Amino acid sequence: MLQELDQLPAGLLATDSRDLADALGGPTLIHLPGGRQPPLFVSVLLHGNETVGWDAVRTLLSERIARFGEPRLPRGLSLFIGNVAAAAQGLRHLPGQPDYNRIWPGGALPQCAETQLAAAVLERMTERGVFAGIDLHNNTGANPHYACVDRLDSRSLQLATLFGRTVVYFTGPTGVQSLAFADLCPTVTLECGKVGEAAGVVRARGLVDAALHLAAITDHPVAPQDIDLFHTVARMFVPPGLSLGFPPTEADLVLDPDLDRFNFRELPRGTAFARLRDPSLGVGLQVLDEGGRDVASRYFHHEDGEVRLRRPVMPAMLTQDLTIIRQDCLGYLLERYNDQVPGRSAGL
């Protein structure tokens, strides 16, 4: 069940993410008043081990309370604090529990308590109205800070470029919070670097503060020099039956030990991702495009015991965390978008 509050519980902003389950008892939607309406919607801890969102929001609110004696927000804020049970254990999600960023309406998961929870949040925010939506995340590999959008309209891109010039457009996976809210308002998902990096908290706090101060989000096209836009073309998975590791581990698929150094680099054809013990396993990866088709042979081939790129491509969110690889994916493949930016002339 969704817990809904109209004020901050006493002491909540001093509470570490691992203690929110005790403080709140479960996922909670908190509505705070502000000078303008409708409210900004911010979701944090959809992945329990990604603490940047909670740390950024509580820093912002604590600063305002220290200054004014109350939050005194320029715009209303509806804050959804997600998987506090997983946060208590420092996990993305608990064993047997769905990923809280796959449970939102429009996803493929069968109905369960978590999908009903997400539907209740969306219904409540539809009733209240939403100015914009921001979903805050960390990632596990070495990646720059970047924003993700699921609509290529000027308002979404304007919101994204408040965070930075690197923007990724995606249409999958489904069931994510930003896609569910996209019909209500401009939405962005912010990837704020690794857990524990202060720079990510500062950057996330700054974007939330900037969004709260906006009177409107312009629909003027983003200037071409202000954006580097990429499109997610595929996700990479390791099939469950294959053993997996990094050197010196012996496994069916042995990944490059510095794999995440490839993130957001446009790699040439022939770049090696891994060593494959058995050539009969093909390329040892499942690579699904936006339509769910396996396109592994389009991007990879097996040569001299190595899994190598068949064509130039840019990866993102590659990680050395074997648990995340198994729970979610190995990473994403991107292509650069140039002419797709609204208002940009072909060839620029």
Q: Is 167 exposed, middle or buried (0-12, 13-18, 19+ CB in 10 A)?
A: buried
Query: Which residues make Cβ contacts (< 8 Å) with residue 211, sequence separation at least 6?
Result: 40, 75, 131, 132, 134, 159, 162
pLDDT tens string, the chain, 348 residues long: the values are 899 999 999 999 999 999 999 999 999 999 999 999 999 999 999 999 999 999 999 999 999 999 999 999 999 999 999 999 999 999 999 999 999 999 999 999 999 999 999 999 999 999 999 999 999 999 888 889 999 999 999 999 999 999 999 999 998 889 999 999 999 999 999 999 999 999 999 999 999 999 999 999 999 999 988 999 999 999 999 999 999 999 998 999 999 998 999 999 999 999 999 999 998 888 999 999 988 999 999 999 999 999 999 999 999 999 889 999 998 899 999 999 877 777 665 444
Strand partners, 286: 237
From residue 289, give the alpha-carbon distance in Å to each of 118, 242, 302.
Answer: 26, 21, 20
What are the extents of the domains in the chain?
3-220, 232-334
In angstroms, the CA 181 to CA 238 distance is 30
Taking the whole predicted model, whether its pTM rises above 0.75 is answered as yes
Tally the residues of the chain.
348
CATH of region 3-220, choose from 3.40.50.2300, 3.40.47.10, 3.30.56.10, 3.40.630.10: 3.40.630.10
